[in-house]
Amino acid sequence: MTPSAEMITMNLTLNNGVQLPALGFGVFQTPPEETVQAVEHALRTGYRHIDTAAAYGNEREVGEGIRRSGLDRDEVFIETKIWISDYGYDTTLHAFDKSAGKLGVDRIDLLILHQALPSRFDLTVEAYRALEQLQADGKVRAIGVSNFMREHLDELLGKTTVVPAVNQIEVHPYFKQPDVLAADTEHEILSQAWSPIGGITFYQEGQGGSVLDDPTVTRISSAHGKSPAQVMLRWHLQQGRSAIPKSVKPARIEENFDVFDFALTDAELAALDGLHRGVRRGPEPADITLESFGREIPEA
Q: Which residues bind ligand NDP (CB under 6 A)?
A: 26-28, 51, 114, 146-147, 168, 194-200, 203, 212, 227, 229, 244-249, 252, 255-256, 282
Is the Cβ–Cβ distance between 114 and 148 less than 8 Å? no
Residue 284: how many other CB atoms lie within 10 Å = 9
Q: Which is nearer to ligand NDP, 84 or 123 (CB)?
A: 84
Q: Give min distance, CB of 1 to ligand NDP, in A.
A: 28
Q: Give min distance, CB of 276 to ligand NDP, in A.
A: 16
Q: Which is nearer to ligand NDP, 41 or 129 (CB)?
A: 41
Q: Which is nearer to ligand NDP, 32 or 266 (CB)?
A: 32
- Cα distances (angstroms) measured from residue 134 to each of 25, 130, 296: 24, 6, 22
Q: Which is nearer to ligand NDP, 136 or 191 (CB)?
A: 191
The span from the CA of 26 to the CA of 22, in Å, is 12
Q: Which is nearer to ligand NDP, 99 or 247 (CB)?
A: 247
Q: Give min distance, CB of 195 to ligand NDP, in A.
A: 4
Q: Which long-range contacts (CB under 8 A, 24 or more apart) does 237-241 make?
A: 237/8, 237/22, 237/23, 238/2, 238/3, 238/8, 238/263, 238/264, 238/269, 239/269, 240/12, 240/191, 241/22, 241/171, 241/181, 241/190, 241/191, 241/192, 241/193
Say what angle helices 89-103 and 121-136 make with each other, to 10 degrees: 60
> Which amino acids are annotated catalytic?
56
Is the Cβ–Cβ distance between 26 and 253 less than 8 Å? no
Residue 222: how many other CB atoms lie within 10 Å = 12
Residue 107: how many other CB atoms lie within 10 Å = 17
Q: Give min distance, CB of 99 to ligand NDP, in A.
A: 14
Q: Give min distance, CB of 178 to ligand NDP, in A.
A: 19
Q: What is the secondary structure of 78-144 as a DSSP string?
A: EEEEE-GGG-SHHHHHHHHHHHHHHHT-S-EEEEEESS--GGGHHHHHHHHHHHHHHHHTTSEEEEE
Amino acid sitting at position 48: R
Q: Give min distance, CB of 233 to ligand NDP, in A.
A: 9
Contacts (Cβ under 8 Å, ≥6 apart) of 282: 147, 170, 194, 195, 200
Q: Which is nearer to ligand NDP, 96 or 174 (CB)?
A: 174
